[in-house]
């Protein structure tokens, strides 16, 4: 039987600890990165969460990552005062649910609340807000006017600075007047 060298055992133990650390780190990273397939999630909403609209949306649409059980879908819309807005019937088309929205006229934050159950039995529910503004959307002319309103005073300050700088340098570089007697 061959005798083990005293250095082989600590090196082997250190290598095994290093290997275990790498395995734990990689498996933890994969657990965080890979989505759990048992939980469904929302892929998109229309209108989007937090958006500012300048006109009433025609529909509210929610898209999830799995087909929805038709009888499980519900959508509600609350106006800025908290009153429920009467929507059209909820339509389910595979993973998309939608409902028509009447013309909204009250400016402010609207809350969309939804609840669906996917065909595999997992519920998805949440709520989000979008904001309706009754003022018109800014146009290109509005943007140009806004830029010019800031640019004209800035240009005047720059022009005044250049004039002062040239005047000051001209005074310094001109020779003193000679006195003629």
pLDDT of residue 25: 67
Cβ contacts of 61 within 8 Å, gap of 6 or more: 44, 45, 46, 96, 97, 98
What is the average per-residue pLDDT within 144-173?
A: 77
> CB-side exposure of 98: number of CA atoms within 13 Å?
16
**Pairwise CA distance, residues 132 & 110, whole Å:** 7
Block residue for tokens 């595999």:
120
Nearest C-alpha neighbor of 118 from the set 33, 37, 35: 37
**Pairwise CA distance, residues 76 & 55, whole Å:** 19
Tokens of 123: 């519920």
Domain coordinates in residue numbering, the chain: 42-132, 138-168
The architecture CATH gives domain 42-132: Sandwich (2.60)
Strand residue runs (E) in the chain:
42-46, 52-53, 59-64, 74-78, 84-85, 91-93, 96-100, 108-117, 123-132
> CB-side exposure of 148: number of CA atoms within 13 Å?
6
pLDDT of residue 41: 83
pLDDT band for position 140 (50/70/90)? Answer: confident
Q: What's the chain's average pLDDT? A: 80
Residue-wise pLDDT for 89-110, tens only, equals 999 999 899 999 999 999 999 9
Residue-wise pLDDT for 7-62, tens only, equals 557 767 766 777 776 667 666 665 555 544 456 788 899 999 999 898 999 999 99
């Amino acid at each position: 039987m061959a005798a083990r060298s005293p250095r082989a055992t600590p090196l082997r133990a250190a290598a095994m600890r290093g290997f275990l650390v790498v395995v734990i780190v990689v498996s933890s990273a994969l657990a965080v990165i890979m989505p759990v397939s048992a939980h469904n999630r929302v892929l998109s909403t229309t209108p989007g969460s937090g958006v500012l609209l300048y006109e009433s949306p025609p529909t509210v649409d929610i898209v999830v990552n799995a087909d929805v059980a038709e009888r499980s879908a519900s959508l509600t819309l609350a106006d800025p005062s908290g009153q429920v807005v009467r929507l059209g019937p909820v339509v389910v088309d595979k993973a998309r649910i939608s409902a028509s929205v009447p013309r909204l006229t009250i400016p402010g934050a609207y809350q969309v609340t939804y609840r669906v159950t996917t065909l595999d039995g997992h519920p998805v529910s949440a709520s989000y807000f979008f904001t309706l503004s009754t003022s018109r959307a800014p146009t290109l002319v509005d943007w140009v006017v806004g830029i010019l309103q800031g640019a004209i005073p800035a240009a005047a300050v720059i022009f005044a600075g250049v004039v002062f700088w040239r005047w000051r340098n001209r005074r310094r570089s001109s020779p003193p007047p000679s006195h003629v007697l």
